[in-house]
Amino acid sequence: MLRYFIEVAYKGTRYSGFQIQQNANSVQAEIEKALKIYFKEAISLTCSSRTDAGVHATGNYFHFDSKGLPEQEILNEVIYNLNAILPEDIVVKRIFAVGPAAHSRFDATSRVYQYAVYQTKDPFVADRAYYYPYTLDIVKLQEAAGILMRYHDFTSFSKRNTQVKTFNCNIFNSEWIVQNNLTVYRVEANRFLRGMVRGLVGTMLKVGTGKISVACFCDIIESKDCTKADFSVPACGLFLLEVRYNF
């Protein structure tokens, strides 16, 4: 058996999340359905990163095992045909062979997310960003974002009922940028907790609007109490940009 990675992108608006689940449509379910139609056999996928309902991705991965797929030139035709089968809001970007022990989840060295906010009404980004019509202090946002790299325990930014052994994460980059009339938070870490990016964004927006101070933001981190963070920002503004590997 050979192992393959599939890189996919999707607009998550219509889906209950990335990973397959009972009684709800998911990105994984649609891709497995397309693979079964094309290859005429069931192929089970293992996902690299779960995303919640309504969250988008420009680069996420699955891996699967097969007795052998065609050479790359023909494989490009396979990708074309799979995309013809898939809904318009999901695309297979590439399929490539990896080592037999490669794992799309456990071999990832980091993941990059971004959350986009817009402050002037714009129907063309309404389903891909959060409308937040309030004045934001970008300097305070940047200060809060930079502080996050000093910490490792993010218990305060993990939703309850999550099954993890540790709440420690290593954040490699954390910044707010302004681009194309959007205020965007971008963060890279070795791992993320359930609801973590939205919790960070919602709480930092309070800093940016002056509702809480930077010192209060630090207190929330150090409290290790998720009831003090703000998870209320909607899923539409969140993108998984990239999952990074060393191969």
Element containing residue 117 per DSSP (H, E): strand 110-118
Tokens of 180: 């194309």
Residue pair 5/69 in contact by the 8 Å Cβ criterion:
no
52 included as an active-site residue: yes
What is the identity of the amino acid at 118? Answer: Y
CA angle 100, 7, 179 (to 5 degrees): 140
What would the two tokens of residue 88 be? 């318009």
Alpha-carbon distance 95 to 143, whole Å?
40
The answer to whether 114 touches 130, Cβ cutoff 8 Å, is: no
Residues known to be catalytic: 52
